[in-house]
Amino acid sequence: MEYVVLTVVLVIVLALFFDFTNGFHDTANAMATPIATGALKPKTAVTLAAGLNLVGALLSTEVSKTVSGGIIREDRISGGVFPSIIFAGLIGAICWNMLTWLLGLPSSSSHALFGGLIGATIVGIGASAVNFGIVVSKIILPALLSPLTAGIIAFIATKLAYAITRRYDKKPDGRDGFRMGQILTSSLVALAHGTNDAQKTMGVITLVFIAVGWQSAGHHEPQFWVVLACAGAIALGTYVGGWRIIRTLGKGLTEVKPAQGFSAETSTAATILASSALGFALSTTQVASGSVIGSGLGRRGSKVNWGTAGRIVIGWVLTLPAAGIVGAISALIVVWLGPWGLALDAVAVAAVVCGLFVRSRLNQVDHTNAVSDVAESGTAVVLDSDPPLTPRQERARQRRKRAKQVRGAAQKSQERAAQERSSAEAKGDRP
């Protein structure tokens, strides 16, 4: 019994630590764009993001129910073994998250979590314990479709924003005002992040409670203290992660204009909020990246940098299986060595986290080598410094050209007439 209690406590601590790293890792998703366009000061942006992540985490529990009540078949798991397996899965997720963060590889905290959990469950209990139908319909398909959805919406929104505010008379177009609007939209993204990402760890903790019998299997709603603890952990991580945002400014997003940033954030927030309402566990990093690419393409004369885009997509595709493999290895150690395996896993994750932290302190990090996944996606779109004209602008240019030609011809004919007159006068003056 003590072993089970100890394992559950370890799972809660590790889940909250994962939530902290998730907030730390994803602060840039909500706030990189408004900082890049100068809509908010970095410190204000980070504080706002932390507060709204906390509020967002308290608003909905649909995603948490998906995690606790769908991915793993509760009838195939036992209270004695399952908490250790979840622990192994969390180790896989944290290790992959920290490693990709240090190496600057594109990754998703959410997919690392799901990959770790699925990998550990397959090795620790068996493939039959994983509900692959739910995994495909609520995790894999949303993962594939959400960046595409956000990208298409951001593309349309950017076109709309530019079309409505475009002026043809060279007078002020008021697009500067989008900078003010970005405070609203980036706040909405931070809120949406809380409604989706904080829920995942709530779901994991609830799943463990159900497995050990501390919560009824028919009741997947997370307990209130779990909601509060997860919300606090993600908010704290978001606040602490702020310094990293300041370092990421030099990368990728310097070309983002306020109208584009506003559209990208609106698309990100709308996609995440609609998905959260239906219980889809998305990767907010992927949605925000899809929006930044879509909004970049929404500007005239932009092209996709397929090399960078491909690297980002490969990073996304690799996250689930890679975290799954780390989770599976951790679960294998637990299965072979029992409680000693659990201790070994705990020591291993502590060593990895400390090692990566020390390594990150050794490297002098500045804006030239810091990486944010969302900021990196900004480089996936190449913008033309001299974009092609819109059809209306082209027509206006043709009109101006024609008017100039007509003026030139009239001036020439006047000059010719004047010349003829003066030569005629000269002839007339001659005796």
Partner 1 sequence: MTIDWYAFLVVFVVALVGAGVLVTLYALGLRLLVAAGRPPVVPPAEFPDAITVLTPKQAAKAEKKAAKAAKKVALSPAQQTLVLALAYACFGLCGACVLAAVALLVFG
Cα separations in angstroms, 338 against 24, 80, 114, 331, 345: 32, 11, 23, 10, 11
Stated as kind and residue range, the H or E segment containing 381 is strand 381-382
Q: How far is the CB of 176 from partner 1 (least distance, A)?
A: 5
Q: Which is nearer to partner 1, 37 or 215 (CB)?
A: 37
Least Å from the CB of residue 32 to partner 1: 11
| Nearer CB in complex with partner 1: 60/286 | 60
Cβ proximity of 20 and 233 under 8 Å: yes
Quick one: how far is CA 174 from the chain centroid? 28
Between 84 and 372, CB nearer to partner 1? 372
Structure tokens at 409: 């011809």
What is the rounded CA–CA span in Å between residue 112 and residue 176?
Answer: 38
How many residues appear in the chain?
Answer: 431
Structure tokens belonging to residue 138: 């609520």
Q: Which is nearer to partner 1, 131 or 325 (CB)?
A: 131
- Nearest residue (CB) to partner 1, 165 versus 413: 165
Distance, CA of 336 to CA of 203 (rounded, Å)? 27
H-assigned helices in 280-338: 284-297, 306-337
Of the pair 56, 124, the CB lying nearest partner 1 is at: 56
- Smallest distance, partner 1 to C-beta of residue 89, A: 22
Q: Cβ of residue 271: shortest distance to partner 1, in angstroms?
A: 5
Q: For residues 293 and 34, is the Cβ–Cβ distance under 8 A?
A: no
Interface with partner 1 (CB under 8 A) = 36-42, 44, 59-60, 132-133, 136-137, 141-142, 145, 149-150, 152-154, 156-157, 160-161, 164-165, 167, 171-181, 184-185, 188, 191, 195, 246, 249-250, 254, 257-259, 262-263, 266-267, 269-271, 273-278, 280, 367
Burial label, 164 (beta-carbon count in 10 A; 0-12, 13-18, 19+): exposed
Tell me how far, at minimum, the Cβ of 311 lies from partner 1, in Å. Answer: 22
- Smallest distance, Å, CB 164 to partner 1? 4
